[in-house]
């Protein structure tokens, strides 16, 4: 699975952005997907994940109520809608998928084998 993340940019605090993760190579609709982020000088952290069917989701506490993960399997794309953005959300955001199709999603980065190139989100105060 080759993943391509897009949609990052510069936004003011309180604003919104929608990230997209598109896949090629295999049927992405069969794979769970996670979003992670890495801020400068910090370790990569979990943001959100969604099951292959879209029926189950999980969020980091820091983004609950502000971010929504969803997917359109007909388009082979996973989205991360980010609202009420804060300066501390500034990071490079990565989407990832596990090796096994129809598998469970996880908040652990080590459970993912395929990673997109990342898209930069900058939130100004």
* Average confidence score pLDDT of the chain: 95
Identify the band that residue 60 occupies on the pLDDT scale cut at 50, 70 and 90: very high
25 pLDDT exceeds 80? no
14 pLDDT exceeds 90? yes
pLDDT, residue 28, reads: 85
**Residue 76 falls in which region: left (phi positive, over 0), alpha (psi -120 to 50) or beta:** left
DSSP bridge pairs for 45: 37
pLDDT, residue 86, reads: 98
Q: Token pair for residue 71?
A: 């997917």
pLDDT digits (tens, 9 = 90+) for 75-125: 999 999 999 999 999 999 999 999 888 888 999 999 999 999 999 999 999
CA atoms within 13 A on the CB side of 58: 14
């Amino acid at each position: 699975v080759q993943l391509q993340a897009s949609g990052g940019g510069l936004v003011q605090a309180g604003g919104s952005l929608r990230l997209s993760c598109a896949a090629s190579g295999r049927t992405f609709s069969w794979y769970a997907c996670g979003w992670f982020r890495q801020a400068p000088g910090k370790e990569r952290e979990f943001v959100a994940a969604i099951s292959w069917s879209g029926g189950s989701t999980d969020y980091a506490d820091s983004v609950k109520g502000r971010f929504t993960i969803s997917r359109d399997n007909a388009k082979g794309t996973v989205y991360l809608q980010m609202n009420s953005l804060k300066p501390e959300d500034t990071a490079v955001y990565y989407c990832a998928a596990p090796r096994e199709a129809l598998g469970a999603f996880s908040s652990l980065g080590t459970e993912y084998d395929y990673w997109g190139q990342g898209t930069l989100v900058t939130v100004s105060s």
